[in-house]
Structure 1
Amino acid sequence: MIRAEDRRPPKPESRITTTIALAMATFGGVGYVPFAPGTFGSAAGLLAWWLLGPSAVVQGTAIVVLFAGGVWSGGVCERHFGRTDPGHVVIDEAMGMLITLFLNPVGWRGALGAFLLFRIADVIKPFPADRLESLHGGVGVMADDGMAAVYANLALRVCLWLSGRLVIWSLIVRSASPMIK
């Protein structure tokens, strides 16, 4: 049995490890924007989604890579900054945008709507996203935004479904209007 006095604090990461983790967690430095870094991280995620193209395999792989990289780099950054979920860490927002847009057939207007839906879900953090935020280390950094993104993805699907229904309804009403006169 290990006694409390026998436990040693974790060895600090090397300078190169910390530098790599900071570059990843800040999504190439985007997290250093002096105001609203989460919004800029989400915008960077939107750009990444556009650059990845429509392939579900490519997007899904990117989501998994960002999650794994974010768990590692987020944990390193928490230790580096000495607090949980530091504001500079935006890899979670970038991943969140990819999850929000995953398998949703949208153009640029739909992508902007997805951006808005994700930002709202990320700020509100509906249950259980609010609870996931308290998980230890990088898992907590990534999991809450991942869950918020799942909600945003579902909300986007509902919006797309409703907009399709409204278009069909307007076509029916428009085509029936000459008969109503």
Structure 2
Amino acid sequence: MKFFAKSPALAPLSLRNPVHFLALGFGSGLAKIAPGTFGTAAAIPVVVLMSLLPSLGYFVVTLLSCVAGIYICSKTSRDLGVHDHKAIVWDEVAGYMITMFAAPISWQWLLAGFVLFRFFDIIKPWPIRWLDRNVDGGFGVMADDILAGVFSFVCMQAAMLYFHL
């Protein structure tokens, strides 16, 4: 059993295309199982590198990733002919960036953010579920994960307050 999906449905995509490369989370979205989880994992080194930036720089890169993600996810969805195909994981990358904003960078905090983000992204409490079901296009692909990232960010900040960080 191969780890990466080799599906005819993905034939219109190419990792050589920068838009597809990003939409597929640097290729992590091609995982046969749990592509969203692998997409979030692919965001960890990105977040670690972004932590070297001042807070404003991290915020700007995250904002640009979310805005560009609307185009990236929309274009890739159109190329596939499927709205929010499971291989499109740029929304998870951006959501994890939001989760980890202003958080300490240690394996414990990276793991906590990972678990929180995956929890909110999978469970989709209201209004995340409403966004997922009712908003179309690239904005719809991004919106629920952006909100899951915001929910996770709030939890991370609360934990930091609790632990006096």
Q: TM-score if structure 1 supplies the norm length?
A: 0.75
Structure 1 gap segments, 5+ residues each: 1-14, 166-181
Provide the residue aligned with 1:128 in structure 2.
127
Amino acid at match of 1:107: S
In the TM superposition, residue 104 of structure 1 has moved relative to its aligned partner by: 2.2
Provide the residue aligned with 1:154 in structure 2.
154
Q: Looking at CA atoms only, which structure, 1 or 2, has the larger radius of gyration?
A: 1
Q: What percentage of residue pairs aligned between the two structures are identical?
A: 31
Q: How many residues align?
A: 150
1:7-45, Cα deviation, whole Å (9 max, x unpaired) = xxxxxxxx99x9332112112222112221111111111
Provide the residue aligned with 2:61 in structure 1.
62
Provide the residue aligned with 1:35 in structure 2.
33
In the TM superposition, residue 100 of structure 1 has moved relative to its aligned partner by: 0.3
Amino acid at match of 1:26: L
Provide the residue aligned with 2:8 in structure 1.
none
In the TM superposition, residue 106 of structure 1 has moved relative to its aligned partner by: 4.4
Structure 2 gap segments, 5+ residues each: 1-12
> Are the equivalent residues in 1 in contact too, given 2:51–2:105 (CA < 8 A)?
no
2:43 to 42, 45, 70: 45
Q: 123-132 or 113-122: which moved more?
A: 123-132
The residue correspondences of 1:83-162 to structure 2 (distance < 5 A) are 83-133=82-132, 134-162=134-162
In the TM superposition, residue 149 of structure 1 has moved relative to its aligned partner by: 0.6
In the TM superposition, residue 157 of structure 1 has moved relative to its aligned partner by: 1.6
Q: TM-score if structure 2 supplies the norm length?
A: 0.82
Kindly report the root-mean-square deviation, in angstroms, between the aligned alpha carbons of the 2 structures.
2.1
> Are the equivalent residues in 2 in contact too, given 1:24–1:69 (CA < 8 A)?
no
For residues 158 and 63 of structure 2, what CA distance do their matches in structure 1 show? 25
In the TM superposition, residue 130 of structure 1 has moved relative to its aligned partner by: 1.3
In the TM superposition, residue 114 of structure 1 has moved relative to its aligned partner by: 0.8
> Are the equivalent residues in 1 in contact too, given 2:48–2:105 (CA < 8 A)?
no
For residues 98 and 69 of structure 1, what CA distance do their matches in structure 2 show? 14
Amino acid at match of 2:151: Y
The residue correspondences of 1:8-19 to structure 2 (distance < 5 A) are 19=17
1:106-126, Cα deviation, whole Å (9 max, x unpaired) = 422111111111110111112
